[in-house]
A and B are shown apart, each in its own frame.
Chain A
């Protein structure tokens, strides 16, 4: 417990850094939000008028302290492109992204980890080649391409998948919000029909993300398993006559998991912010497309809110991974 607080304390300076840097970076971006929001018909005076309304005519440090004051009150500002408070938008969009990413990652783990393990135990065999092929293909196919291909085949040609229109069919209504994850919320509400609807909407985008994230996980599993299998304690275990299954599953696999968990954490946080293209293809109301749209419009508040949210998530995720280390391998302590 003490260590956790210490860890969190050490994360504070980086958060402050993030706040300062994003504030300065958004202001340094080329583009003039006042001109953008004054509309196509604006005269120079109209632009100045909008600039004053938005408070962008004040000195930078005044704007910064105003921003800090708002932050302290938990106010992330209002997005100009959507007209909504940034906090509510992130709160509704983050679960959408997180649900998609988690399911995608889960699919990916289910395939990648066994594949990596099998490839490592039989290096040079057909399964090793298969692993190599799958990972190369997965990483070299851009996500928007995989996504569009899946939509084309499973929606347009076969008609198996529902229309790529976001998280739910247009005539369905979202379950009462508890976690923001439709799969979980619909189960809590005992609404199996909504669960089915949400799951079918989720299938293709999650598959797209899964295919993309296969590569790093499978390769890391394989490499790490190979290293562990070559180590002394595995040789000892084998020499002691333990069954192949026991050697691989109980001894080697557990030890090989550490780098895989690290990779998982990185892949997860990367996907969460970077699956903009998947969100665009499937009209998914996620956080990535929100940030990109804000960036295009030079809309400061959502960009700052997004980066801040991501920074907090990274910090939390790293903490979680550190704690997981302790669970997987008792030798690893937080102090270490």
Chain B
């Protein structure tokens, strides 16, 4: 009897828990759309937030922001040497703004009159101002990125009339226009977000985390975090030609082997972030279409902490630079899918970055430099890397360890979990690291401002400080803004030469962004943000 009582109550309890946890019912669409109008995309991980203004939005989240929000301007396209279509850094094209008038002190945008947000509300200059105010106010990454283009104060953003919007400059800066075309200054549906904001959260960041409140070409209709994102096309999109794909299904497939199998079997249309080995094999097999593009302004490097011995001695740093097995790393770690950064000269020939340097593997030279610096027997140190990027870092570190061992430098490898890596970088105590940095804005002075300038930003992982370098960087930014190209060239070459001579960080290679897709997918375009733009994709 007691048992029966128990069973009854237990089943009741079970019943009530299941009803309590029943998630919102998934609505079945009346008709399933045909596969031909849908693109299936597979990647390792998915977004954690749809809004790039949010706290801690990850890279896949940038992709949602890019495709679901419009910006005032976009970039034109060009075809790279490898035949891949790419954005063109130097040309700006209309997106939400039909035209603009650029003067030395400001830029005035004329907005499209027919553009609406996904909910049908017309887009006005008030929405643009609210969105820009939000970007420079919420703090964290968006504010930082706006600042990179000298966009700092809400007062800079002026509503002239419903469809005219002006940005006032606080200083001449060549990067301002480029920074207006990155992901951060997207145009948000101000009224919709305000209606969903709370006193604690005046900018409605909670709402936009899982709702796309914009007017871009796509909007998210279904999201299961860590599993899939489903987009539908916004059919009333006015800021460009209507994209071909009605629906994008983006699935997260953690296993790289399976991502490869899915693309080879023809089940997935596009696969991003395949390991280099798999990608090299896919490209060789030529069964699917592949595109590899060097990541703009992106360099994998070995950084040395110059604030303490032994790396405070420039001869030690040069010795390490001569002891790196450059070619082996390109072949065995990257499977050739990278542009080497060695094989150039330590005197810059052009004002471009990334630039090839003049160091090469020369163990004898390394040994004599070490002896000169007072380390004939070598020394011991630790090489650290982010475990989140172990696929490249681990074999790379082992090759470096082996090679440095031959000149007497004993290297211990220190793998730091992803959660810990940034905190460690901020402390600036690691003696030797393997790391990657890329800048959205593809300009040498931008890279150097963050990575070599004495302001000692977190990306200056070496804590390198040199007043001459700082002067050259500042001068080059001003020269660029004022259009003095000869001065610009001299300054850029000048700071590249110092970076190579003093070598606080050793550039190893410029990695490729690799994409594999079915032969019937056209219109892939490389973007500085390294995410996929769905709008140009065509499936035949």
A38 at the interface (CB under 8 A from B): yes
Contact mask for chain B residues 411-426; partner A; CB cutoff 8 A; 1 contact, 0 none: 0000001111011001
Q: CA separation between A81 and B226, bound complex, in Å? A: 9
| A33/B139 in contact, CB under 8 A | no
Residues of B within 8 A of A164 (CB): 253, 255, 258, 261-262
Interface centre among A2, A54, A177 (most CB of B within 10 A): A177
Q: How far is the CB of A335 from chain B (nearest CB, A)?
A: 12
B100 at the interface (CB under 8 A from A): no
Residues of A within 8 A of B518 (CB): none
| B144/A173 in contact, CB under 8 A | no
| A283/B252 in contact, CB under 8 A | yes
Q: CA separation between A31 and B420, bound complex, in Å? A: 4
Knowing A49-B140, A80-B56 touch, does A44 contact B257 (C-beta < 8 A)?
Answer: no
| A174/B419 in contact, CB under 8 A | no
A280 at the interface (CB under 8 A from B): yes
Q: CA separation between A53 and B251, bound complex, in Å? A: 31
| A296/B265 in contact, CB under 8 A | no
Residues of B within 8 A of A49 (CB): 139-140
A37 at the interface (CB under 8 A from B): yes
List 4 tightest A-B contacts by C-beta distance, closest first. Answer: A37-B56, A82-B225, A31-B419, A298-B419
Residues of A within 8 A of B224 (CB): 92, 285
Q: CA separation between A166 and B145, bound complex, in Å? A: 37
Q: CA separation between A37 and B140, bound complex, in Å? A: 10
A36 at the interface (CB under 8 A from B): yes
A114 at the interface (CB under 8 A from B): no
| A81/B255 in contact, CB under 8 A | no
Knowing A49-B139, A180-B18 touch, does A285 contact B423 (C-beta < 8 A)?
Answer: no
B308 at the interface (CB under 8 A from A): no
B195 at the interface (CB under 8 A from A): no
B25 at the interface (CB under 8 A from A): yes
Q: CA separation between A289 and B227, bound complex, in Å? A: 11
Q: How far is the CB of B148 from chain A (nearest CB, A)?
A: 9
A257 at the interface (CB under 8 A from B): no
Residues of B within 8 A of A38 (CB): 56, 140-141, 422
| B226/A83 in contact, CB under 8 A | no
Q: Which residue of B lies closest to A292 (CB)?
A: B254
Q: CA separation between A296 and B457, bound complex, in Å? A: 25
Q: How far is the CB of A241 from chain B (nearest CB, A)?
A: 36
Knowing A47-B426, A285-B226, A296-B388 touch, does A165 contact B18 (C-beta < 8 A)?
Answer: no
7 A-B pairs within 8 Å (CB atoms) are namely A2-B2, A3-B2, A29-B419, A35-B422, A44-B426, A164-B261, A296-B388
Q: How far is the CB of B237 from chain A (nearest CB, A)?
A: 24
A residues lining the B interface (CB < 8 Å): 1-4, 29-33, 35-44, 46-47, 49-50, 53-54, 79-84, 87-89, 91-92, 148, 151-152, 155-156, 159, 163-166, 170-171, 173-174, 176-180, 280-283, 285, 289-290, 293, 296-298, 323, 326
Q: How far is the CB of B366 from chain A (nearest CB, A)?
A: 32
Q: CA separation between A24 and B305, bound complex, in Å? A: 34
Q: CA separation between A173 and B222, bound complex, in Å? A: 11
Q: How far is the CB of B238 from chain A (nearest CB, A)?
A: 30
Residues of B within 8 A of A323 (CB): 3, 6
Knowing A88-B23, A165-B262, A173-B28 touch, does A296 contact B225 (C-beta < 8 A)?
Answer: no
Knowing A38-B140, A155-B261 touch, does A176 contact B26 (C-beta < 8 A)?
Answer: yes
Q: CA separation between A176 and B24, bound complex, in Å? A: 9
| A41/B23 in contact, CB under 8 A | no
Knowing A170-B249, A174-B26, A283-B252 touch, does A148 contact B49 (C-beta < 8 A)?
Answer: no
| B140/A39 in contact, CB under 8 A | yes
| B422/A81 in contact, CB under 8 A | no
Knowing A2-B2, A49-B140, A171-B35 touch, does A31 contact B423 (C-beta < 8 A)?
Answer: yes
Residues of A within 8 A of B26 (CB): 173-174, 176-177
Q: CA separation between A178 and B21, bound complex, in Å? A: 10
B81 at the interface (CB under 8 A from A): no
B458 at the interface (CB under 8 A from A): yes
Residues of A within 8 A of B108 (CB): none
Residues of B within 8 A of A151 (CB): 257-258, 261
Other A-B contacts than A44-B426, A170-B251, A285-B224, 18 sampled, CB-CB below 8 A, are A2-B2, A38-B140, A39-B56, A39-B141, A41-B144, A41-B458, A49-B140, A81-B58, A91-B22, A148-B257, A151-B258, A173-B26, A176-B25, A289-B226, A289-B254, A296-B418, A297-B418, A323-B6
Q: How far is the CB of B311 from chain A (nearest CB, A)?
A: 22
B32 at the interface (CB under 8 A from A): yes
Q: CA separation between A150 and B410, bound complex, in Å? A: 43
B357 at the interface (CB under 8 A from A): no
Knowing A156-B261, A280-B254 touch, does A285 contact B55 (C-beta < 8 A)?
Answer: no
Q: Which residue of B lies closest to A171 (CB)?
A: B32
